[in-house]
Chain A
């Protein structure tokens, strides 16, 4: 394609297109009743950004409390509510919808050359459902909170807690339907709406990743819905399901909860992996290394991901032989992730690498996700999990995958497609600074938590023995840097809406279909239906294997 390479692709000659999806209609009604997937993506983005900051405030409270060994800033109950609401807000109202409902929503139709998703009305409905669910979650928080931990373990949640368990559960239940609808919409869209010539192996890997995640959303989410209904039934009507006093079994709850909630981490991480595949290729101007390996590893993660749930329960009194099987499959699910990491790294080999902000986030993702994945092996390893589970090691591992992985991928994608979504470029310098702050702050926050975990510091502790203070202070200091790293993009991205450089259709010289139309795109995405004639990431003639 492009052979002449200049320093900066964007030139001043670009002007904003006269008509695009943002200025098609300015009325509030046109936003609230829109069926345009791009506008719905923006609605989702605003909503989940709000919940990200709510969850972030809760995290700040937790970290501030842990600055000192004594439980002196918050009451025990308040602290317990703070970490519970942090988990609930971040997982159910930010991470699960994060990339799929915003970037996925915006990009999947464009990447496959379609006008919209298969069911635009259901897409809008899913946002409304999400908002209703999130409002329940918010109402539960404002009217007193909930203190069971985001895992809602019975019988604490069903019998002993006297906080807003049912209200929160209803919120998550409702938001779950939004997830199901989104997943369903993606699956049908990817099957039926591809442009002429867009075969399965010409799909961008972002689409493959979302397809795999959608399967989990559709198959997994009903199980958490049923589980939460059973919790509500036991709590409200004393029907014995989980509480042994009523004839139930608390281990049953854990099986049901993790049957969804373990695959749910793949709902969260797979779309992020899709983002990384797009960004790594775009900013090295190179084909992806091992397209099929990456595509099939997404599917493998989605399938194997359903068969590992009991690795959360190795010390909960399950059979030793069951533990053997679940440990084995947990090790197997690590392999597709390793394949992806190696392929992304190899893609850079002999590339033409541009160090723009999205690429910095992608580098950060690859490094932190590698650590997150490898520390997962510690927890899949039976004899080691006994010591590490229920400690800060779990907290650190989970955050390495979910923040170091997923949140970085989200920020990566937001920066990468910001010019497409808004028509304007973000300012590069502050963006690079914030990427650096996020990376440094993140490691300083969570690296000490691995050590704390090995020392035995239990998670969800309001106070702790004084010998662990230094590590906790380091962690809180890191969290402060991380917070600044997250706040900065809010400022300069908003600034760029008015003052950012006009991007033009394809500021990164990417080959993706979404870059062939104007930025921001017209309401119907493409003026003519594109015809796909080549594989994705076609940055030039193939020169064979390594």
Chain B
């Protein structure tokens, strides 16, 4: 869709959602041109045709109720079409498909740090395979940031203090822009990077070329031991802390009677602020880990807690680059080549 190298009108369409956003955009551009043209035509025609020299005496017209109704109802109808269309699109963009490869992103002034589940880490770059759902779980270490890939037409804010998610399915190999679009201080415009979409085989090769840092979950397991979490969350009956195996993704009954779903944000909060949501049947005895763990380590711990799930429900375990799936269903995505 590039008109020319120097005067482009559209960014590349490099994700499954891109053409849908473009379609809505073009519809709105058409509406804008139509109504601007209509108003301009009315203003110019009337003001030329009825200029004072031609029409020295104005005809006094009070107004017209049918016209008022017409130009309220027609724009309202068009607006509602756009509203529904855009809302459906938004829901498709916001709700990640169940089957998605998970990658973790930490934003900080002024860089993007990426961790792949199987271990590789990168800075200001994100390598992903083509034609696969990818879900980013993102958090900021300091101020607000925003993760934007114009060629994919996706963007989401990255907040301090809680995880947000963004998903996409890149359907065209290549290198694309990554921007931080939420103003974040001095080097805001330097908080940029590249998204590199690769053929799956190339991606696997890239993954295996990484340093042997161990997978996210295994690093999380080491932290789990070294921080002493394992002493209470031992998984044995009578342990002082709840058993974490199988907990992730499922509802948890709290001491105050509420029920919450144990998602990434819940796990993170329970590490940093254990008193906030006490699991029913346990005492408020866990110390806080605020200040002792950075965001990247927290992500490793979260990944480990998630993997406990996988170990319990499936026997395959997390394989490098494979989809991790809290609620296994019959696979419908493309098989990894």
Which residues of chain A have a CB within 8 Å of any CB of chain B? 3, 5, 71, 76-77, 80, 147-149, 151, 153, 155-156, 159-161, 243-245, 249-251, 284-293, 314-317, 320, 323-324, 327-328, 331-332, 334-335, 338-339, 341-343, 345-346, 348-355, 359, 363, 366-367, 370-371, 374-375, 377-378, 380-387, 389-391, 451, 454-456, 458-465, 467, 469-471, 539-546
Contacts and interface: CB of A to CB of B under 8 A. Distances in A.
A71 B159 CA distance: 27
Given A153-B183, A338-B75, A382-B86, A284 B35 contact: no
A286 B153 CA distance: 48
A385 B154 CA distance: 10
B117 to A, nearest CB: 23
13 contacts: A5-B52, A250-B159, A292-B63, A320-B91, A331-B82, A348-B43, A371-B36, A375-B32, A383-B93, A387-B155, A454-B9, A464-B189, A543-B61
A324 B90 CA distance: 9
B57 interface: yes
B35 A374 contact: yes
A183 to B, nearest CB: 28
Interface in B26-58: 28, 31-32, 35-36, 39-40, 42-44, 46-48, 50-52, 55-58
Ranked nearest first, the 3 interchain pairs of A and B with the lowest CB-CB distance are: A456-B150, A244-B161, A383-B89
Nearest to A319: B94
Contact of B63 (A149, A243, A290): A290
B162 interface: yes
Contacts, number: 320
Contact of B56 (A244, A292, A352, A455): A352
Interface string B86-101: 1111111111000000
B325 interface: no
Contacts of A291: 62-63
Contacts of B58: 284-286, 350-352, 539-540
Contacts of B164: 317
B249 to A, nearest CB: 19
Interface stretch (B173-181, B204-212, B217-225, B235-243): B173-181
A275 B24 CA distance: 35
A331 B79 contact: yes
Contacts of B31: 374, 377
Contacts of B72: 335, 338-339
B200 to A, nearest CB: 26
B33 to A, nearest CB: 9
Interface of B: 5-11, 20-21, 24-25, 28, 31-32, 35-36, 39-40, 42-44, 46-48, 50-52, 55-65, 67-68, 71-72, 75-76, 79-80, 82-83, 85-95, 109, 142-144, 146, 148, 150-151, 153-157, 159-162, 164, 177, 179-190
A467 B43 contact: no
Contact of A465 (B94, B148, B161, B177): B177
Q: Which of B32, B35, B42, B155 has the most CB of A within 10 A?
A: B155
A249 B161 contact: yes
A546 to B, nearest CB: 5
Given A76-B186, A370-B36, A387 B79 contact: no
A546 B64 contact: yes
A314 B90 contact: yes
Contacts of B143: 153, 155-156, 159-160
B146 A315 contact: yes
A396 to B, nearest CB: 12
A366 B39 CA distance: 8
Q: Which of B35, B44, B95 has the most CB of A within 10 A?
A: B35
Q: Which of A324, A377, A462 has the most CB of B within 10 A?
A: A377
B61 A289 contact: yes
B27 to A, nearest CB: 9
A348 B90 contact: no
B35 to A, nearest CB: 6
Given A3-B57, A315-B155, A467 B39 contact: no
Nearest to A371: B36
A545 B91 contact: no
Contact of A156 (B87, B95, B144): B144
Nearest to A156: B143
Contact of A390 (B32, B71, B182): B182
Given A76-B187, A367-B39, A467-B6, A381 B153 contact: no
A444 B213 CA distance: 53
A295 B7 CA distance: 44
A250 B161 contact: yes
Contacts of A359: 47
Contact of A456 (B25, B32, B179): B179
A71 B188 CA distance: 12
Given A80-B186, A334-B79, A383-B21, A390 B181 contact: yes
A241 to B, nearest CB: 13
Q: Which of A289, A383, A389, A467 has the most CB of B within 10 A?
A: A383
A455 B177 CA distance: 11
Contacts of A352: 50-52, 55-58
Contact of A381 (B20, B44, B86, B155): B86
B153 A341 contact: no
B11 A455 contact: yes
Contacts of A460: 183, 188-189
Contact of A454 (B25, B144, B180, B185): B25
